């Protein structure tokens, strides 16, 4: 008999940025690194003969937290990956009902039937990863191992192991980040002991609890945005962006006195002309609520993508959109091959400093701009491959 602890990875970018990250490789969040010590503590006194993970960054670095405590290395196998989401990879969840309403409705109501072009079905994913677990159980017969995988893959596995019909997959539920399932593999028999157990996490570190909170206006934290390109030919869009620019200057500098609207719009048009996602408007349903303006024209530091402006409408501040606008910026600059994201933050802009601190930006010095002294806030966005981290992981592809 082999004991297998199956673990969902810690909180990752897609969970917070509200983007579809199947096999898209993304980083863990700041909260994840608060969750991981609790996960490692849970396994501190649990005998483990080996630790395995999917080759995706979020899974293998979750496994590394347990392995480091044990003084061993993580074995990496691609068969343990999350569901492939094909054409949906790295799109916002909010755009999908607009672009693919029938498929998205099926994903929401009959997920076992949904297959995105270029992707997998959830139960096929479960079968793939379960096959990988069976192989590991044979290799480690009589031992105990931990395996870190992903949410949809684990749902598919649980549906099979619990003996549910495909249409009963909703009864499996969703396990929170770092949740644990325990199985006993005995020949062809798999006995589920428990599953979706995240009791090691304090509530304030639960991803699910965070998404479920509301702000002071009672607006759900799970409000989700999609992003459309700014249209320079649209008078309505130009007026909208001027409104965002004024709001940005009022928030950053206390007034709009230093805003040259013509110059700001000329810069914006140049950014939009250089890249089709450089200037995007965040939408909640059909209402414009945010601006993500990337200064792709600034190539003074080739490895760094520069933020031009982040703005959220006052009515939607505190509703969870801050992570989503950051996720949009990271999506753009990661696709352009940038390793870092940089924003210049006015010294006295406490709210902006709070935002960048929350999302793991670090101050790398001061910069004098026309509007005054700014801090240079920088965040790493590069996702290292297994090959780049070969000292920490054992590849078993």
| Active-site residue list | 9, 82
Contact 312, 325 (CB under 8 A): yes
- 3-class DSSP string for the chain: CEEEEEEECCCEHHHHHCECCCCCCCCECHHHHHHHHHHHHHCCCCCCCEEEECCCHHHHHHHHHHHHHHCCCEEECHHHCCCCEHHHCCCEHHHHHHHCHHHHHHHHHCHHHCCCCCECCHHHHHHHHHHHHHHHHHHCCCCEEEEEECHHHHHHHHHHHCCCCHHHHHHHCCCCCCCEEEEEEECCEEEEEEEEECCCCCHHHCHHHHHHCECCCCCECCCCCEEEECCCCCHHHHHHHHHHHHHHHHHHHCCCCCCCHHHHHHHHHHHHHHCCCCEEEEEECCEEEEEEEECCCCCCCCCEEEEEEEEECHHHCCCCHHHHHHHHHHHHHHHCCCCEEEEEEECCCHHHHHHHHHCCCEEEEEEEECCEEEEEEEEECCCCCCHHHCCCEEECC
Listed in order, strand segments (DSSP E) in 155-188 are: 180-186
Residues 242, 353: Cα–Cα separation, whole Å: 23
């Amino acid at each position: 008999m082999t004991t297998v602890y199956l673990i969902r990875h810690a909180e990752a970018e897609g969970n917070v940025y509200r983007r579809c990250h199947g096999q898209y490789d993304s980083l863990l969040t700041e909260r994840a690194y608060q969750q991981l010590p609790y996960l490692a503590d849970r396994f501190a006194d649990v005998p483990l003969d080996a630790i395995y993970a999917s080759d995706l960054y979020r899974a293998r670095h979750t496994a590394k937290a347990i392995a480091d405590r044990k003084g061993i290395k993580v074995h990496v196998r691609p068969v343990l990956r999350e569901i492939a989401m094909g054409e949906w990879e790295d799109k916002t969840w909010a755009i999908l009902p607009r672009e693919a309403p029938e498929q998205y409705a099926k994903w929401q109501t009959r997920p076992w039937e949904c297959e995105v072009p270029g992707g997998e079905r959830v139960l096929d994913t479960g079968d793939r990863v379960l096959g990988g677990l069976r192989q590991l159980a044979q290799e480690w017969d009589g031992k105990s191992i931990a395996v870190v995988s992903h949410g949809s893959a684990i749902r598919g596995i649980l549906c099979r192991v619990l003996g549910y019909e495909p249409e009963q997959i909703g009864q499996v539920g969703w396990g929170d980040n770092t949740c644990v399932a325990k199985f006993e593999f005995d020949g062809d028999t798999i006995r589920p002991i428990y599953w979706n157990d995240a009791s090691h996490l304090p509530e304030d570190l639960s991803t699910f609890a965070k998404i479920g909170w509301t702000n002071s206006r009672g607006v759900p934290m799970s409000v989700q945005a999609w992003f459309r390109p700014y249209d320079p030919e649209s008078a309505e869009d130009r007026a909208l962006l001027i409104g965002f620019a004024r709001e940005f200057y009022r928030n950053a500098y206390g007034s709009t006195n230093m805003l040259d609207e013509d110059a700001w719009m000329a810069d914006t048009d140049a950014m939009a002309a250089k890249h089709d996602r450089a200037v995007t408007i965040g939408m909640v349903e059909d209402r414009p609520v945010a601006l993500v303006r990337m200064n792709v024209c600034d190539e003074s530091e080739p490895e760094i993508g520069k933020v031009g402006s982040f703005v959220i409408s006052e009515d939607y501040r505190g509703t969870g959109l801050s992570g989503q606008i950051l996720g949009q910026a990271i999506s753009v600059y990661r696709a352009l091959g940038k390793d870092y994201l940089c924003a210049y933050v006015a010294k006295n802009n406490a709210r902006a400093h709070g935002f960048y601190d929350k999302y793991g930006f670090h101050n790398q010095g001061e910069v004098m701009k026309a509007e005054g002294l700014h801090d240079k806030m920088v965040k790493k966005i590069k996702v290292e491959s297994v090959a780049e981290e070969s000292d920490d992981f054992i590849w078993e592809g």
